[in-house]
A = this chain, B = another copy of it.
Amino acid sequence: MAATIRDVAQVTGVHISTVSRSFSAPHLVNEATRGRVLAAAARLGYRPNRAARALTTGRTYNIGLIVANIANPYFPPLIKAAQAHARERDYHVFVADTDEDPAVEEELVHALAKQVDGVVLASPRVGNRLIEQLARSVTLVLVNRRVEGLPAVLMDMRGGTRQVIEHLARLGHTRLAFAGGPPGAWTNREMRRAAAASARAMGLTLEVLGPHHPTENGGAAAAEEVVRTGATGVTCYNDLMALGLAERLGELGVRVPEDVSVVGVDDISPSRHTRPKLTTLAMPTAAAGRLAVDMLLQLAGDPDASNATATLDVALVVRDSTGPARRS
C-alpha cells in the first residue's frame, strides 16, 4: 500500500492537517516542522492523492483533449505540444479520439467532465448548439471552431485560402475546384466560403466538390469529380485528401502539376516527402495546442477570465504540386 497523509503525520508526530499544509500552504507551518514533514514524506515515498484532493478542492489538475482522429498527422503535433505544456504546469491530460463521430464527441465530453478542470475540443464535429450546451457543464476551449461567447484558438483560414487562390490565379489557372471535407467542420466552411469569395473577386470559376471523408480515400474519391469538372487547380480540405487525390489522379493518367495543380492544407510530415512535394498551407498546430492549454488553465483558475479568441496565422508553402496552367 502506498503511503497516505496519515502515515506521514504519524511518523512525523504531527496532525494530518499540518502535513497537508506543509504541501499546500507552506507559509502556515513552521519551517522546521515542515522540514521534518517533507523528509518523512520523501522517506515514505508519499505523494498526495490528486483524486482525493480534487474531492474537496474541486480542482483535479487534469484536462481533457478531444480530437477527431489521432491517426491524422495533423493532430499529433498539437497533442504533443498540449501535453508537454500541460505537464510543465503540473497537469495531466486525457486524450480521446472521436473517430470523426459527433455522438462520440458529445459522450466523451460528458464522461470526462467530472474528472477534469476543462477540456480542449479540437476540430469539433458536433453542432454549435450542442457545444454551447456542453460548455455549461464543463469549461471548454475550442480549436478550429468559432462559437459566440466561447474561448477559441482559430487559424486564419480565410486569409490562407485567399493566398492559395491567388497563388493559383498567378499561375494562370481559371477553373478551380475545392475538394470539401467534413460538413461539420468549421474549417471546411471557412475555406469553402473564402475560396468562393476569392474566386469570384478574381473572376475565376470554382466548383465545390464533396463532402468527402478527410482522408486519402476521400481525396481519391474526389479525383473523378475533378476530371469531370475540368478544373486545373484544386485546393483540398487537408493534406491527406490532397495526397489521395494526387495519387489517384496519377492512376487516371492525369499528371500533377503539369495537368492539374493540387494544394493541400496542414503541412503534415508526409507532404514533404511525396513526389511531387505538396504545396500546402502550413498550420501552427503546436502553437495552437499550447495556446489552448494556456487559455484553459487561465479559465479554470479564474472562471470569469476573458473569453478571448485568438487567430493564428497560416502560411502558404509552395512546393512542387502546383505549376503553370496548361494552355488549353
Which residues of A are interface residues toward B (Cβ below 8 A)? 2, 45, 47, 49-52, 54-55, 60, 62, 69-71, 73, 75-77, 79-80, 83-84, 87, 92-97, 99, 108, 110-115, 137, 243, 269-270, 273-275
Contact = CB atoms under 8 A, between A and B. Distances in A.
Nearest to A112: B92
- Interface-centre pick from A2, A84, A93, A269 (highest chain B CB count, 10 A): A269
B95 A83 contact: yes
Contacts of A99: 84
B50 A115 contact: yes
Give the oligomeric copy count. 2
Given A60-B51, A110-B47, A114-B47, A87 B76 contact: no
Given A76-B71, A243-B273, A83 B97 contact: yes
Nearest to A243: B273
A295 B45 CA distance: 27
A96 B70 contact: no
A83 B70 contact: yes
Contacts of A113: 2, 47
Given A51-B60, A269-B270, A275-B275, A83 B71 contact: no
Given A114-B2, A115-B51, A273-B274, A80 B92 contact: no
A114 to B, nearest CB: 5
Given A70-B83, A92-B94, A114 B51 contact: yes
Contact of A83 (B47, B50, B96, B275): B96
